[in-house]
Structure 1
Amino acid sequence: MLKNDSLLIFASVYSDSLIEEKAIEPGKKKNKNQFFKAVMTDGVWKGEGLYDDLMNSSEVDVANGALHLKSPYIYYTRCAIVSGKRKCDLYKIRKGGSEPAAILPEPINHSKYSTTQPALGTDKNGSLILYFVSDRDGGRGRTDIWYATYDSITNSFVNPQNAGSKINTRMDEATPFFEDRTRALYFSSNGWPGMGGFDIFKNIGSDKEWGEVKNVGYPLNSPADDLYYILNSKRDGGFLTSNRDGGFSIKHPNCCDDIYEFKQKAPVSSVLEVEVQGFETMLDSLGEPLVSLYLSSADSCVRLKDNKIVKELCDVLIKEIRLTEGNKCYFNISVGSEYEIKTYQSGSLAKSLKIKVSKEEYTDTLKAIIRLQEYSKDAIMIKNIYYEYKKFELTEASKLIIDSVLLKLLRDNPHIILEISAHTDSVGSFNYNYHLSQRRARSVVDYLVSNGIDPDQLKAQGYGELKPIVHNTNLDGTDNVEGRAMNRRTEFRIIGEIKGKLKPEYSR
């Protein structure tokens, strides 16, 4: 871990001679893994011995330090042989404190399984998350990455959960590192496709919400094992460990892990400046806009919404900002990833904009403008919604139109209430036409509700022949066939809002 960009804390077994495990004399203690420090002096890293007596121990192995600006503690691993098996647990010690380290309670640690390699990050709301590696039950492979959320009441991490299939495989995942600015989790795996052994991978998101896993590529990865990737505070370089060819070999060329420092050839992140225009006239009565940044995904996810299974794109919410002052906000985005900005405000429909910074077109600040407009409350006709003669059931072709127009509108804007209205021509009795139109409007509403839309967002209203848009007969009294066809229509209009439901909320 980097305590700052000039102080590197690392774990190692120190010896002034080659250690042969089988050659250790009976009754003699084996050298233990301990924390050491290296200091940057005149551009060169120089080792300065053991780091902290309170963290080190002559009885157990220690490793995997993790810290975060929001936490007063350093988290790390202690491992020992228990009943003939190596068992690891997580500990914490206060930064700069004099009290001994404390073991994390269950269920973060587990009495039967190892818990190791902690990493600290934040979720989309800025709350701390503890990532760690464990072989406990409930995982997907041999060792998985798990996470636990921070409980501010108990001042502890609680409710450990598996990070899911976008991170873990049926093999081994290890050494997580979370980069807060772009919300990227770096980790090593021998289960995702790579160059061989453990490769370093990256995924953007947090807890269980992730985008697509990406191999960070050569030269950070090699045919050997590459682990413990971390970045410095400037994000222009960092460290990793590897047993690749060219290291300090003791027994054979790939026997041992060495620490490597690297520098990024190109920037890995950029600043996104979002300017929201057009809301100033709505501000007093409707409040401040909410700007959300999503990582775009082409995959579909099955989500549970209002106790219904809904299939939607797996866009991952990265961060959201309420514009309480001014009309600009800023995000850090990862170079090469595609994002979508979504802006929500009462009195306006959600607006979105796709953005991406490629390596070839890199800029340190990308500017985007989104203009909000007050929505109209006029009725809008939905073309190509058809019914069989004297029927109210939706045709399959009509359902496709509803999916592309109404379903998307309501999912993107859960705060609006729509009146779905159906209209007939004047053929038939007034009562018959009224009831037929009511059933047709209701069939649209029922279809939307069956696809996960909140019933509170919808009102079915049949008008029969009361609201023609053209005359049903010509001036000479003859039948206006084209006019009657235009009067047989389905419309929608915004008639209100649901308080407190400005933006979509998903749960997987």
Structure 2
Amino acid sequence: MRLRFLLWTVAVLLLTACSIEKKAKKAFLYEKFQTSIDLYKKILAKNPNNGKANYFVAESFRQSNRIKDAEAYYAKAGGKGIDKDSVQFYYAEALKANGKYAEAKQVMSTLANETTIPGLKDRAKAQVDGISYIEKLEAKTNFYKIKNLELINTPSSEYSPVFLNNELYFTSSRGKDRIYEATGTPFTDIYKVTSRGANVDIATVAPMPAGINSESINDGCITFSPDGKTMVFAKGNSGKRKGTEDVDLYISRFRNNVWSEPVMININQPNAWDSSPAFSPDGRTLYFSSNRKGGYGGDDIYSAQMDSRGRFSKPRNLGPEINTPGNELFPYVAEDMKLYFSSDGHPGYGGLDLFVVKRLNGKNTIENLGQPMNSTGDDFGLFLFRPDRGFYTSNREGGKGDDDIYTFINEDPNLKVVNYYLQGITYTKDKEDQLVLLPNTKVSLLDGKGEIMQDFVTGNDGKFLFRVYENEDYTLMGQTDGYLMKREGYTTKGKSVDVTTLKELLTTITLDTIVVLDKIEINKIFPLENIYYNFARWEIREDAAKELNNLVQLLIDNPEIKIELGSHTDSVDTESYNLDLSQRRANAAVQYIIQHGISPDRIVAKGYGESKPIARNTNPDGTDNPVGRQKNRRTEFKILGISAIPKTLETEDGFDEDKYFKTDGN
């Protein structure tokens, strides 16, 4: 009887253990990480060395952004089906997050030498180098001073501060009872409080209205256009099977003194986490973080252009210079166009660190902001309300709660901020060759590599404005329906100011230019500059090749046109000789263009000899006119035909404001 009772007890215990493990696995699969932790800890209470239970507790802590708490569990993690190299990597990450740099470096070094997984080997090497970088960073002078914004922080979480029109917006889990099972913390809402810089009036703290905030859903990470009338924020994580599967970005407009019903922006991707949005200072570019497929690691930073109608272009990944195999989040672009972001992939102290991208002579360098801005905890969500001071978030030791909001000031005595802008006007020419305004023209700013940095669609005044950097070469590209797309070079080299002569903290320099587009017309003739040949020869010289390359680009940019390339001579020698020479020159130029990728059926060679002068070859008294002869020795192209290839200023995958918002005159 006693043996039967013991067997029954053992069976019950085994069934109970199996039931707990089954529930724990299910919770983990559904990303209910806190529930998973609680259940696996029951198993560990009876068997502290259970490798799989330790693994899933560690993973649950890590995936719910609590990697510090994962250290002891990764140390005991293991078992069949569990990749030991990944365990070692994250164990070292947990050690680093807890400030145990020497131990973390040793584990990473061993992993880098022993693992056969190429990607993991590279990441481990990068982490070893990163710890060495931090050791060197400690030797540099740091001018940042920080302070916990105690009035606003609570034992709950406060994060992602944004300052606008004397109001501080932030996200918090205060006052919420229902628990989000992934993190074991309450759901979050967006709040605002009246503030003069860092001086908050705590009596004015209030949640954003219903519709922006939602019950039992995490609302947070907000950004505003410069005029405060457009808001983009993140919403999601209901924990339910129906509805949004993850976090998405929503847009709302302030009209008639109320915020419109938020709608999802179509730059979101199903099954992806899209969050931490931030408008550029001009309000035309939205930066955000996403873990969508096709990135370089976990969470990557992307950008999308927004036009005047509220439509967004296809998101662009900022590339491997910014994004790493780790996580890059919480982008923020300051008034001087420096990009700040948080990352656990670039060399840091542990968890998320704050970084700044500095641009000099067309090249970017990424700098860790160092201590005290960064810590072994997560440091993120930076926002400047003045060039030398602002807010950010940290969950470092010594705070009032989970995530706290801090204020900071940069006391660098040599801090001077210079903003360079390039403003211009788009024109065309009338029949008298006079400049006239050309409205509704898309102008793009390209960097020295030919990559688009910014777009601008002009209004009725034809004006455009770009933020540029000193000592860089750019290309301006203009396009609108019915006109040739055109590229023009512009440089800021030699146009910068000496910062040592400046007295103010902030200086703005505005540069001027114009872009002139030509209307597409049949038989319209365009001269080509600097197409020269050696005497009595037709081979393409190096200086002529540069100009012909521009024509190749024009034909690529304007695939709808077919042209004739015409060559002309002066009246030296016989008409037949000049006609033959001009045809040979035209043929050589056309062959060069075809060899550079233009279809032969789009271009025709025509030699005109001396038959179509545009200036006198001789003076009225019969003497030679060298200036006139030079003008006659020219190369031109003429538009022969226009095919029906549609051109449009519509942005790819655009968000159409008119679909969601009615025009009310505001």
Same fold? TM cut 0.5: yes
Give the one of 387, 407, 420 matched to 1:260.
407
Distance apart, 1:108 and its partner CA = 2.1
The one-letter code of the counterpart of 1:9 is Y
SS of match in other structure, 1:364 = strand
The one-letter code of the counterpart of 1:145 is I
The one-letter code of the counterpart of 1:89 is D
Q: Distance in 1 between matches of 2:514 and 2:220?
A: 51
Q: Distance in 2 between matches of 1:250 and 1:230?
A: 20
SS of match in other structure, 2:200 = strand
The one-letter code of the counterpart of 2:606 is Q
SS of match in other structure, 1:446 = helix
The C-alpha deviation readout for 1:215-250, integer Å capped at 9, x for no partner, is 365369646544212233x65643222456xx6347
Partner of residue 474, structure 1 = none
Partner of residue 479, structure 1 = none
Partner of residue 187, structure 1 = 341
The C-alpha deviation readout for 1:181-222, integer Å capped at 9, x for no partner, is 666654333445677753334489xxxxxx754436536964
Partner of residue 134, structure 1 = 290
The C-alpha deviation readout for 1:80-109, integer Å capped at 9, x for no partner, is 4457x994333455656488x656277725
Distance apart, 1:35 and its partner CA = 3.1
Distance apart, 1:173 and its partner CA = 1.9
* CA separation of 1:354 and 1:105: change in aligned 2, threshold 3 A: closer
The one-letter code of the counterpart of 2:380 is L
Distance apart, 1:64 and its partner CA = 0.7
Q: Distance in 1 between matches of 2:640 and 2:349?
A: 53
Task: Write out aligned runs for 1:274-353 (5 A).
Answer: 285-288=434-437, 294=445, 296-297=447-448, 300=449, 313-314=450-451, 316-317=453-454, 319=456, 324=461, 331=465, 333=467, 338=472, 340=474, 352-353=489-490
Partner of residue 448, structure 1 = 593
- Unpaired runs of 5+ residues, structure 2, are 1-160, 519-524, 618-628, 643-648, 653-666
Matched, 1:67 2:224: yes
More displaced 10-residue stretch of structure 1: 363-372 or 130-139: 363-372
Partner of residue 227, structure 1 = 380
Matched, 1:173 2:318: no
SS of match in other structure, 2:325 = coil
Matched, 1:198 2:342: no
8 Å Cα contact 2:457-2:464 kept in structure 1: no
The C-alpha deviation readout for 1:113-166, integer Å capped at 9, x for no partner, is 32222334599xx7x55543222223332112345566998x776865645556
Distance apart, 1:338 and its partner CA = 3.2
Partner of residue 189, structure 2 = 34
Q: Distance in 1 between matches of 2:252 and 2:634?
A: 64
Give the one of 136, 143, 162 matched to 2:299.
143
Matched, 1:241 2:397: no
Matched, 1:382 2:542: no
TM-score scaled to structure 2, two decimals?
0.48
The C-alpha deviation readout for 1:342-387, integer Å capped at 9, x for no partner, is 598999x986542253644658343656699999969865145997
Distance apart, 1:174 and its partner CA = 0.9
Partner of residue 364, structure 1 = 507
Q: Distance in 1 between matches of 2:508 and 2:308?
A: 35
Give the one of 419, 424, 448 matched to 1:270.
419
Q: Distance in 1 between matches of 2:417 and 2:515?
A: 31
Please identify the structure whose Cα radius of gyration is greater.
Answer: 2
Q: Distance in 1 between matches of 2:458 and 2:599?
A: 25
SS of match in other structure, 2:247 = strand
Partner of residue 473, structure 1 = none
SS of match in other structure, 2:292 = coil
Q: Distance in 2 between matches of 1:42 and 1:426?
A: 77
8 Å Cα contact 1:129-1:147 kept in structure 2: yes
Q: Which has the higher contact order (CA 8 A, sep 6+)?
A: 2
8 Å Cα contact 1:9-1:36 kept in structure 2: yes
Q: Distance in 2 between matches of 1:226 and 1:337?
A: 33
Q: Distance in 2 between matches of 1:98 and 1:353?
A: 41
* CA separation of 1:282 and 1:269: change in aligned 2, threshold 3 A: farther
Partner of residue 7, structure 1 = 167
* CA separation of 1:332 and 1:80: change in aligned 2, threshold 3 A: same
Q: Distance in 2 between matches of 1:151 and 1:317?
A: 11
More displaced 10-residue stretch of structure 1: 490-499 or 143-152: 490-499
The one-letter code of the counterpart of 2:237 is C
The C-alpha deviation readout for 1:238-281, integer Å capped at 9, x for no partner, is 3222456xx63479xxx8554333458545343547689x9999
Q: Distance in 2 between matches of 1:293 and 1:270?
A: 19
The C-alpha deviation readout for 1:260-317, integer Å capped at 9, x for no partner, is 33458545343547689x99999874423789684643xx4xxxxxxxxxxxx43634
8 Å Cα contact 1:145-1:173 kept in structure 2: yes
Distance apart, 1:4 and its partner CA = 2.1
Distance apart, 1:2 and its partner CA = 3.2
Q: Distance in 1 between matches of 2:442 and 2:272?
A: 42
More displaced 10-residue stretch of structure 1: 170-179 or 214-223: 214-223
Give the one of 83, 90, 95 matched to 2:249.
90
The one-letter code of the counterpart of 1:144 is D
- Unpaired runs of 5+ residues, structure 1, are 17-23, 205-210, 301-312, 471-485, 500-504
Task: Write out aligned runs for 1:88-167 (5 A).
Answer: 88-92=247-251, 95=254, 97=258, 102=262, 104=264, 108=268, 110=270, 112-121=271-280, 130-147=286-303, 162-165=317-320, 167=322
Q: Distance in 1 between matches of 2:200 and 2:320?
A: 38
Distance apart, 1:399 and its partner CA = 6.2
The one-letter code of the counterpart of 1:135 is N
* CA separation of 1:498 and 1:167: change in aligned 2, threshold 3 A: farther
Give the one of 366, 381, 396 matched to 1:215.
366
8 Å Cα contact 1:295-1:338 kept in structure 2: no
More helix by share: 2
Partner of residue 22, structure 2 = none
Could you say what the CA RMSD is over the residues aligned between the two structures, in angstroms? 6.0
8 Å Cα contact 2:526-2:638 kept in structure 1: no
* CA separation of 1:104 and 1:318: change in aligned 2, threshold 3 A: closer
More displaced 10-residue stretch of structure 1: 133-142 or 264-273: 264-273
Partner of residue 154, structure 2 = none
Q: Distance in 1 between matches of 2:278 and 2:265?
A: 17
More displaced 10-residue stretch of structure 1: 112-121 or 445-454: 445-454
Q: Count the aligned residue pairs.
A: 430
* CA separation of 1:282 and 1:316: change in aligned 2, threshold 3 A: farther
8 Å Cα contact 2:305-2:455 kept in structure 1: no
Partner of residue 208, structure 1 = none
The C-alpha deviation readout for 1:36-90, integer Å capped at 9, x for no partner, is 434325962343444235244563333212222375545233334457x994333
